[in-house]
Amino acid sequence: EAGVAQSPRYKIIEKRQSVAFWCNPISGHATLYWYQQILGQGPKLLIQFQNNGVVDDSQLPKDRFSAERLKGVDSTLKIQPAKLEDSAVYLCASSLERDQPQHFGDGTRLSIL
Amino acid sequence: AQRVTQPEKLLSVFKGAPVELKCNYSYSGSPELFWYVQYSRQRLQLLLRHISRESIKGFTADLNKGETSFHLKKPFAQEEDSAMYYCALLYNQGGKLIFGQGTELSVKP
Q: What is the CA radius of gyration of chain A?
A: 13
Does the distance separating the beta carbons of A99 and B94 come in below 8 Å?
A: yes
Does the distance separating the beta carbons of B99 and A102 come in below 8 Å?
A: no
Per residue in B70-95, pLDDT tens? Answer: 999 999 999 999 999 999 999 876 77
Does the distance separating the beta carbons of A33 and B43 come in below 8 Å?
A: no
Q: Identify any residues that bridge with A31 across adjacent strands, giving them in sequence order.
A: A50, A95
**Nearest residue on chain A to B93, alpha-carbon basis:** A99
- Is the distance from CB of A92 to CB of A34 less than 8 angstroms? yes
Distance from CA of B46 to the nearest CA of A (A): 7
Q: How many CB atoms lie within 10 A of CB A60?
A: 19
Does the distance separating the beta carbons of B94 and A45 come in below 8 Å?
A: no
> Does the CA dihedral A37-A42-A47-A51 come out positive or negative?
positive
Distance from CA of B85 to the nearest CA of A (A): 10
**Nearest residue on chain B to A48, alpha-carbon basis:** B96
pLDDT tens for chain A, 113 residues long, are 679 999 999 999 999 999 999 999 999 999 999 999 999 999 999 999 999 899 999 999 999 999 999 888 999 999 999 999 999 999 999 999 888 889 999 999 999 99
